[in-house]
Amino acid sequence: MNLAGLLPYVMPIGIGLLVVLLLSLVPDPHRRPLNALGIAGAGGVYFSGGGLDAWELPFGALMLYVAYRGLTSWTFIGIGWLLHTAWDVVHHLKGNPILPFAHDSSLGCAICDPVIALWCLRGGPPLHDLVPGRRAPRQRAVT
* Averaged confidence pLDDT in the chain: 88
Q: What is the CA radius of gyration of the chain?
A: 17
Query: What's the pLDDT tens digit per position in 96-111?
Result: 888 878 888 899 999 9
**Section 7-35 average pLDDT:** 93
Decide: helix, strand or coil at residue 124.
coil
Residue 34 pLDDT exceeds 80: yes
Q: One-letter amino acid identity for 53?
A: D
DSSP 8-state class, residue 138: P
**Section 13-17 average pLDDT:** 95
DSSP 8-state class, residue 26: S
With pLDDT > 90 as the criterion, what percentage of the chain qualifies?
60
The whole-number pLDDT of residue 58 equals 93
Query: What's the pLDDT tens digit per position in 43-85?
Result: 988 887 767 888 889 999 999 999 999 999 999 999 999 999 9
The whole-number pLDDT of residue 140 equals 61
Neighbours of 59 (CB within 10 A): 19
The whole-number pLDDT of residue 138 equals 59
pTM comes to 0.85
DSSP string, 60-107: HHHHHHHHHHHTS-HHHHHHHHHHHHHHHHHHHHHT--SSTT-TTHHH
Question: Using CA atoms, how far apart are residues 67 and 41, in angstroms rounded to an integer?
Answer: 9
